[in-house]
Amino acid sequence: MAAPSASAPLLRSHPHRGSLVPSSPRHRPAATSLLEFPPRRPASSRRFPYTAVRSSSTASPSAPVEEASAAAAPTGDEEEERVVLPTNESSETLLRIRHTCAHVMAMAVQKLFPNSKVTIGPWIENGFYYDFDMEPLTDKDLKKIKKEMDRIIRQNLPLVREEVSREEAQKRIEALNEPYKLEILESIKEEPITIYHIGEEWWDLCAGPHVESTGKINRKAVELESVAGAYWRGDEKNQMLQRIYGTAWENEDQLKAYIHFKEEAKRRDHRRLGQDLDLFSIQDDAGGGLVFWHPKGAIIRHILEDSWKQIHLQHGYDLLYTPHVAKADLWKISGHIDFYKESMYNQMDVEDEMYQLRPMNCPYHILVYKRKLHSYRDFPIRVAELGTVYRYELSGSLHGLFRVRGFTQDDAHIFCLEDQIKDEIRGVLDLTEQILGQFGFRYYEINLSTRPEKSVGTDDIWEKATIALKNALDDKGWEYKVDEGGGAFYGPKIDLKIEDALGRKWQCSTVQVDFNLPERFDITYVDSNSEKKRPIMIHRAILGSLERFFGVLIEHYAGDFPLWLAPTQARILPVTDNELQYCNEVASELKSRGLRVEVCHGERLPKLIRNAETQKVPLMAVVGPKEVQARTLTIRSRHNGEIGTMPVDEFITRLQLAVANKSSL
């Protein structure tokens, strides 16, 4: 099963520009929820500084809309005016502003740098960018470009659409000596060709849309953010271009709110927190995209895996462990070498036979199924594995835990009969809700993708499978959007995105019906008439990649993991070294009860407390002479302050209960 990628807007090339524009509705993801700034903080999650505005289309399947509204209500001491950030999908005006800003920026660049060549410039999720063939730019250059953009905006120049013939467009492009635009023109199939002018000074191949004039842009709501290198057409064999990123909003308040959001996202960046909290690393000596889980990160992974295994065993899954390599022929049968080769590593020669690192777990699970003949009475058969896979990624695309070369999927496959599809899908949805709910994810975006133009399988089985998916979602009471024709060629699917503490969407869970691999591997069962039939195969992942999900968790919690998941649940802090022996005895007792504690000493108590706060340890047990004499601990919570003094056994009991209930002390 393919690992879900980080949530990002789907884009396609527009034939009249070469720039990227949002894809057609069939492939467009649902609009992200709106964000509010300043926050309305629910008392139960006060440490999360942002909440989200939610409509019924994005409300949690497990909670009514009224509950979401109540959670976002003011707590009494907060009177800030809320700023709602729209999206490109929710505001046509914003989309037009951003598209026009890309043109204005390109015009400004070519005024300041006459030898620069323009390529493409789309609107994107939070703004726009444009790629130029020119000398490298600096931050100082960005300030000059923004100043020139402001001048163009103040001139209130009209945006004028013109239709021309292909020959006329080519003539004009050649006159400007714009080779990239000429290449874009060659790829356009439709006519006439459309051009947009900014006044009488600058024009570009474009299909729109734009604002009526540059004066419709609030220059104080526009900011140039950064410059980066980008290959033409994304191909490293092509020319390296200068890509300028900018953000644009409808008004200044929205820009300020967005900047505030960016600062909070930066504070939560899992790469920085992973280093600060010593959770994981990616070592240059080992290679890019290969994750080292440090002790603190590894214990969190252990908790995730242990919980995952227990829940799956309770839901009737059998656990598997399968090899990381296999004969290359296996991947020929599965079709991966034909359709997925660019994402696979080179084969290795083992005693004159070619072997392949696995990019997927599916063929292994099928081989386990094929080890014996199955009867219809055996179904459903559910197998699950935390299987590590390897995908070839260009070094430039690697990004912390979000895009790596080796990762572990929480993969599972269900083999069932046609009339069992609905119940099995419903079971997966229940399991998904249970697992994701542990981490506080309660708001989802759900999409049902149906049969594409090119597909395998009969009309009848596609219809039955799609209806089964719809019925399972309806039974669950979950709202969803239908992505007509967006399914995989081998079957329909359900995709689920979780919403984090900042309102960002992350693709995690997926459920896919597969008519292809059962055919390729010729898997069968014996029905009630003693005839061989083909079973239905369902792929599903809930967390997706453990590495990526861990990155999402770090950013969701801002590294401040809840008590049950925290790598160190409590630090025992002696006032002086005179209490050290007692502290070690208490630590040993807590560890023997399955609790994660450590003793820290050698500094003055205020600094020990500050260090524990910095490392986001949930609880601190302070020990002085009185505590030693009374055999007690004085407990301090990072979030709730002083809890009080209590006997060791009482602390253990309360801590164990809080961990079991996934609550705070």
- What are the catalytic residues? 362, 391, 409, 411, 413, 493, 539
**Cα–Cα distance, 625 to 634 (Å, whole number):** 11
- What is the C-alpha separation between 3 and 5, in angstroms, rounded? 6
- Which runs of E-coded beta strand occur in 453-551? 481-483, 493-499, 505-514, 525-526, 532-533, 536-545
Rounded Cα distance, 59 and 150, in Å? 40
Return the closest-CA partner of residue 523 out of 513, 534, 508, 507: 534
- For the range 12-16, what are the long-range contacts, defined as Cβ-Cβ under 8 Å and sequence gap of 24 or more? 13/120, 13/187, 14/207, 15/187, 15/188, 15/189, 15/190, 15/207, 16/188, 16/190, 16/193, 16/194, 16/205, 16/206, 16/207
Task: Give which of 254, 202, 265, 264 is closest to 98, Cα–Cα.
Answer: 254
CA 628, distance to chain mean position in Å, is 48
Is 605 exposed, middle or buried, given 0-12, 13-18 or 19+ CB atoms closer than 10 A? middle
Burial grade of 374 (CB within 10 A; 0-12, 13-18, 19 or more) = middle
Q: CA–CA separation, 562 vs 639, rounded Å?
A: 11
Residue 11: what residue type?
Answer: L
Q: How far apart are CA 430 and CA 423, in angstroms?
A: 10
Residue for token pair 């598997």:
320
Q: Are strands 34-37 and 52-53 parallel, antiparallel or unpaired?
A: antiparallel
CB-side exposure of 34: number of CA atoms within 13 Å?
A: 20
| Contact assessment for residue 319 and residue 309, using Cβ atoms and an 8 Å cutoff | yes
Alpha-carbon 340 to chain mean position? 22
Nearest-Å Rg of the Cα atoms of the chain is: 28
Alpha carbon separation from 646 to 241, 653, 659 (Å, rounded): 64, 11, 18
